[in-house]
Amino acid sequence: MTNTKLKTIALIAMFIDHLGHFIPDTPDWFRWVGRISAPIFIFCVIVGYKHTHSRRKYMIRLYVASVGMALLNMTINQFVYYPQKVGESPIHTFYITNNFFSPLFFISLLICLFENRKFKFIILLFIWQIVSMLLAVLLVENYDLLQLNDSIANYMFLGSLLGNFFLTEGSVLFILMGSIFYFYHGNKLKSSMAYTLYCFAMIIVISNFNDLKGHFWDIVIPSMDFQWMMILALPFILLYNGEKGIGLKYFFYIFYPLHIVILYFIGLSLRF
């Protein structure tokens, strides 16, 4: 199975997942299907990074897409929030927080720094995670700069804007997943074993640290209860044949924000 076919499968699964996320009264299994999407996309990013003609341009595209998506989300969220503020619509916290470009960019950035032995920059990057986290908490909890009545949407926006992977979709969980696919790339047995252990570890974390559910987990990953189902992505990943396929790279960059915005406004109209 080519890289393009893999991404197409992930895209279909993602679309079904987002139908379940945005549109009310959809079956639970819509969200279950979507669990295979992120692992496949992350795997494809590792493949893309390794085989792209220009890693610099590849990372710039992901970065621009990440920041652009964050700005688009906040613009729409502010547009939706203003009628609540002036009393023209009911108060709610139904905002866009999706920005899968951010973890994909961070994964490629960390790989780049690691391969080029920029360990000082890696240390500085982790220091910045602490600094930017404190800055985000300060801005969200103490200042009403972003004007939204949902702190999760504010944190996710600042996470992408400030470059804090703790406050991006999937957080460190997706970073760890990307590390597995990177270090065991080309070895299907080892990557399968490592990925399977990773999924089982998620089950243990969920079952033993259920009390931590709430604000933190909502920011890290909102579908934590059934995230272990991403193990079902493994058979598709193992079918990868090393071929690129027809590409369609810009299609995926365009489809992601477009379908989220459309589904969001459909869901908003059905809710309020």
Is residue 247 pLDDT above 80, yes or no?
no
pLDDT for the residue 236? 97
Model pLDDT, residue 124: 95
- Higher pLDDT: 91 or 242? It is 242
Are the C-beta atoms of 103 and 170 separated by less than 8 Å? yes
Residue 224: pLDDT band (50, 70, 90) is low
pLDDT over 80 at 168, yes or no: yes
- Alpha carbon 240 to its chain centroid, in Å, reads 22
d(CA 210, CA 225): 9
Stretch 143-147: mean pLDDT? 67
Using 50, 70 and 90 to split pLDDT, how confident is the model at 149?
A: confident
pLDDT at 85: 63
Between CA 122 and CA 113 the distance in angstroms is 7
List the domain boundaries for the chain: 3-271
Alpha carbon distances (Å) from 269 to 18, 80, 111, 256, 264: 16, 11, 42, 20, 9
Element (H, E) at 191: helix 188-208
| Residue 234 vs residue 139, higher pLDDT | 234
The reported pTM is 0.91
SS3 for 252?
A: helix
SS3 at position 156 = helix
Which residue type does 197 have? Answer: L
Output b/e per residue, 20-35; b: 16+ Cβ within 10 A: bbbeeeeeeebbbbbb
What is the rounded average pLDDT for all residues in the chain?
A: 88
Q: Are 256 and 100 in contact (CB under 8 A)?
A: yes
Q: Is residue 262 predicted with pLDDT exceeding 90? A: yes
187: confidence class by pLDDT, cuts 50, 70, 90:
very high
For 137, other C-beta atoms within 10 Å of its C-beta total: 14
How would residue 218 be classed by pLDDT, with cut points 50, 70 and 90? low
Q: What is the pLDDT of residue 102?
A: 95
pLDDT of amino acid 8: 96
The helix, strand and coil proportions of the chain, stated in percent and rounded to the nearest 5, come to 75, 0, 25
| Position 165 pLDDT exceeds 80 | yes
- The pLDDT value recorded for residue 154 is 87
CA dist 103 to 159, 250, 254, Å? 10, 18, 17
Give pLDDT tens digits for 50-85.
Answer: 999 899 999 999 999 999 999 999 999 988 886 776
Arithmetic mean of pLDDT, 223-252:
87
* 95 pLDDT more than 60: yes
